[in-house]
Amino acid sequence: MNYQEFLTNHKTFYVLALDTSTRWIICSFFKIDFESTSNFSITTLYQKEEEGIRNSFQKLSLYLKEVLLYKKPDLILCGTGPGSFTGVRISVTTARTLSQIYRIPIIAIDSLSLYSYSIYRQENIDHFLIGFDGKQKKYYTKEFNQDMLLNPISDISKNEILHTIENKVLFLDNKEPLISWLNEKEKLLYQNKINLITSVSSRFWIDLILSEKFINNSDNFFYENYKNVIPLYIRKDPAHEKYPEGLARI
């Protein structure tokens, strides 16, 4: 069953949205009444979107106990990272487990695309750069505009970021590391272009997955597709980069 067939067979369905890849913990539940890509209504039944750098697993577990009292979901929307190594595993593992328990499919989208779409809808900016703190003086970044929603993800350094944002705005989940790396001249030139992501709306994520552009490009959608939903790790560990064929081969 592909995504279009799912929508045809489920004129009313319930979506659980999860993401813990950044400092935000997202757990929301929506009722969808769907007729077509231009005719649908969304009812928010439960919404938790809060900052929580620590205790993501405990908080998400608590929210799920509350949200699953409403109704069994028909579909899970899950952010797969990149971002916090532990956070990405929490949301992906949770989505995979619930998919197996309820025998329902997952829509897996990289978290940068989800956050990009939320910023686009809230800030009314249709071309910008978004980044998640990747530690080691790097950020996971993605360029957004309406025609290139699912752009490739880059893992870039400070100098690469500064070169990229010369003509566009940057939104970050944590901008303090980048600001601290700048010299005084760079701060004068770039500080006003660096914005902190201050709010997230998973409500707009539902608009995204119900959009005609997304529906027409969703091939990896079928029951028990949890087997193909894996954490999105962009950066290889130093040992792998130095010895790509394995340490035992040196």
Residue pLDDT, tens place only, 175-204: 999 999 999 999 999 988 999 999 899 999
Rounded to an integer, the average pLDDT of 150-161 is 86
Helix axes 85-102, 56-67, angle to 10 degrees: 30
Smallest Cα–Cα separation from 47: which of 210, 197, 203, 216? 203
Contacts of 228 by beta carbon, 8 Å cutoff, 6+ apart: 108, 220
Q: Which CATH class is domain 3-111+200-234?
A: alpha beta
**Distance between CA atoms of 96 and 142, rounded to whole angstroms?**
25
Least confident stretch, 2-6, 53-57, 109-113: 53-57
Q: Does domain 124-196 bear CATH number 3.30.70?
A: no
Cα dihedral sign, 200-202-207-213: positive
Rounded to an integer, the average pLDDT of 74-98 is 94
Q: Please compute Rg for the chain using Cα positions.
A: 19
Decide which of 94 and 219 is more confident.
Answer: 94
pLDDT range class, residue 248, cuts 50, 70, 90: very low
Q: Do domains 3-111+200-234 and 124-196 have the same CATH topology?
A: yes
Check whether the bond before 152 is cis (ω within 30° of 0).
no
Q: How far is CA 76 from CA 55, 94, 114, 172, 250, in A?
A: 22, 10, 14, 26, 44
pLDDT at 246: 53
pLDDT range class, residue 170, cuts 50, 70, 90: very high
Are the C-beta atoms of 194 and 179 separated by less than 8 Å? yes
**Distance between CA atoms of 234 and 66, rounded to whole angstroms?**
33
pLDDT at 151: 75
Mean pLDDT, all residues of the chain: 88
9 residue type, one letter: N
Least confident stretch, 61-65, 226-230, 244-248: 244-248
Estimate to the nearest angstrom the gap between the alpha carbon of 159 and the chain centroid: 25
pLDDT at 71 over 80: yes
pLDDT at 43 over 90: yes
Beta-ladder partners of 196? 172
Domain map (residue ranges) of the chain: 3-111+200-234, 124-196
pLDDT at 172: 96
pLDDT range class, residue 250, cuts 50, 70, 90: very low
Question: What pTM value is reported for the model?
Answer: 0.90
Q: Long-range contacts made by residues 43-48, C-beta under 8 angstroms, separation at least 24?
A: 44/203, 45/14, 45/70, 46/70, 47/202, 47/203
Are the C-beta atoms of 104 and 27 separated by less than 8 Å? no
